[in-house]
Amino acid sequence: MSLKVCEIFYSLQGESTFTGLPCTFVRLSGCNLDCAWCDTRYAKDESTSLSIEKILDQIKIFGCNLVEITGGEPLLQEETPRLISQLLDLKFQVLLETNGSQAIRDIDPGCIKILDVKCPSSNESDSFLYKNLRYLTKRDEIKFVIGSRQDYEYARTIIMEKLSLHQSRIHLSPVFGHITPARLAAWILEDRLPARLSLQQHKIIWNPDQRGV
Ligand code: SF4
């Protein structure tokens, strides 16, 4: 059994409540969406087939307890839940970043899921699977990437009407280079929105176009 892998690298976690922590990233290949501001288009095509054992071997080389499975969209591959379970069995702390369109029901509850809700400016706002909300725990996180005032208002409506149980782990992240953090911060403060302003820290520390960070 194997997975299609785009890249495996070690860096600082750039988003979520784990921001700033050393983390090993496993970026799986392929995606079912075509977001307007996608910054990992290469993950759709670049792919090496690796067994779970080989992936685990590469992860172990970095000696880092925190691992994020990301993409592309990692839940398109049948073996992804098995990879997550094996990492948890080996006592890694595991994060899964998913675009919100795929069912999370069968993911090991020990994994912390970071679920994207796509906003209108992504052109993929119909993709979110609302029944996934049933399977979120208070440890899981929800992320809205905001590219416009319309996106903000869309996110605000969903947060206020559907996400009251997950208040501490909701992130609003400005599309890098499209909307300033200050503007998004002002909107959150004005509405007293129960959400965190989340900046893509890796794009601030390093060149925003750099891969593998
Ligand atoms: S879901 Fe993620 S990887 Fe897929 S197109 Fe959107 S931003 Fe890119």
186: how many CB neighbours lie within 10 A of its CB?
Answer: 11
Distance CA 94, CA 88 (A): 7
Verify whether ligand 1 is closer than 6 Å to residue 69 (CB atom): no
Query: Ligand 1 centroid vs 166 CA: distance in angstroms?
Result: 23
Distance CA 133, CA 39 (A): 26
Q: Which helix (H) or strand (E) holds 154?
A: helix 149-162
Residue 167: pLDDT above 80?
no
What atom in ligand 1 is closest to the CA of residue 44? Answer: 3
Residue 200: pLDDT above 90?
no
Verify whether ligand 1 is closer than 6 Å to residue 97 (CB atom): no
Given this model, what pLDDT does residue 47 score? 94
Lowest mean per-residue pLDDT among 39-43, 193-197, 204-208: 204-208
Averaged pLDDT, 1-25? 95
Averaged pLDDT, 145-152? 97
Tokens of 116: 């994207």
| Helical spans, DSSP H, in 42-143 | 42-45, 52-62, 80-89
Given this model, what pLDDT does residue 156 score? 96
Residue 86: pLDDT above 70?
yes
Q: Which among 115, 106, 109, 39 has a CA at the least distance from the CA of 72?
A: 39
**8 A C-beta contact, residue 17 and residue 95:** no
Distance CA 98, CA 119 (A): 15
pLDDT 10s digits, 87-141: 999 999 999 999 999 999 999 999 999 999 999 999 999 999 999 998 998 899 9
Sequence-ordered list of residues with C-beta below 8 angstroms from that of 8, at least 6 positions apart, any chain: 24, 25, 26, 27, 55, 58, 59
Confidence category of residue 164, pLDDT binned at 50, 70, 90 = low
Tokens of 101: 């369109």
Q: Note the pTM of the prediction, 2 decimals.
A: 0.94
Given this model, what pLDDT does residue 176 score? 85
Query: Ligand 1 centroid vs 117 CA: distance in angstroms?
Result: 11
Domains of the chain with CATH codes: 2-205 (3.20.20.70)
pLDDT 10s digits, 22-67: 999 999 999 999 999 998 999 998 999 999 999 999 999 999 999 9
Given this model, what pLDDT does residue 192 score? 95
Verify whether ligand 1 is closer than 6 Å to residue 147 (CB atom): no
What atom in ligand 1 is closest to the CA of residue 145? Answer: 7
- As a whole-number percent, the residues of the chain with pLDDT over 70 amount to 98
Query: Ligand 1 centroid vs 96 CA: distance in angstroms?
Result: 14
What atom in ligand 1 is closest to the CA of residue 124? Answer: 6
Averaged pLDDT, 170-176? 94
